């Protein structure tokens, strides 16, 4: 999913769909993004593979639908990763602070005034 969102046009399409009260037609999305239908199809295919969007309807009446469940899964992963690194950095900070105390120095080993 992150690879699908790496392209600015695909991020713009997802943002666009998230702000619409109903599923817009493919032709409307293409026109609003000044994009050919062929190029929009390529971007939508990538977004579909990642589970972010789906197409509904047939022929010229095809609509794009955003599926926020993929974004929720990504948010969960980012929250877990953030918690892991916050814990790691807190442990590093404690270790560095302990080094200053072990040396008998009142100075903070990070170079900050105490």
In the chain, list all ranges with CATH 1.10.10.10.
4-67
What are residue 54's DSSP bridge partners? Answer: 65
- Its pTM stands at 0.68
What are residue 63's DSSP bridge partners? Answer: 25, 56
| pLDDT at res. 102 | 74
Give the 3-state secondary structure of 7-54: CHHHHHHHHHHHCCCCCCEHHHHHHHCCCCHHHHHHHHHHHHHCCCEE
Say yes or no: domain 4-67 is CATH 1.10.10.10: yes
CB of 61 closer than 8 Å to CB of 25: yes
| pLDDT at res. 43 | 97
| pLDDT at res. 111 | 62
| pLDDT at res. 68 | 83
pLDDT in tens, the chain (114 residues): 888 999 999 999 999 999 998 999 999 999 999 999 999 999 999 999 999 999 998 776 899 999 988 888 888 989 999 999 999 999 999 999 998 787 765 555 566 655
């Amino acid at each position: 999913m992150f690879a699908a969102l790496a392209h600015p046009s695909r991020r713009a399409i997802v943002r666009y769909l998230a702000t619409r009260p109903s599923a817009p037609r493919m032709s409307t999305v293409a026109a609003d993004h000044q994009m050919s239908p062929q190029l929009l199809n390529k971007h939508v295919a990538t977004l579909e593979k990642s589970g972010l969007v789906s197409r509904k309807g047939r022929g010229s009446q095809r609509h794009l639908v955003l599926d926020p469940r993929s974004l929720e899964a990504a948010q969960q992963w980012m929250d877990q990763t953030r918690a892991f690194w916050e814990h790691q950095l807190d442990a590093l900070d404690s270790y560095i602070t302990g080094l200053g105390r072990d040396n008998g120095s009142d100075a903070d080993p990070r170079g900050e005034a105490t």
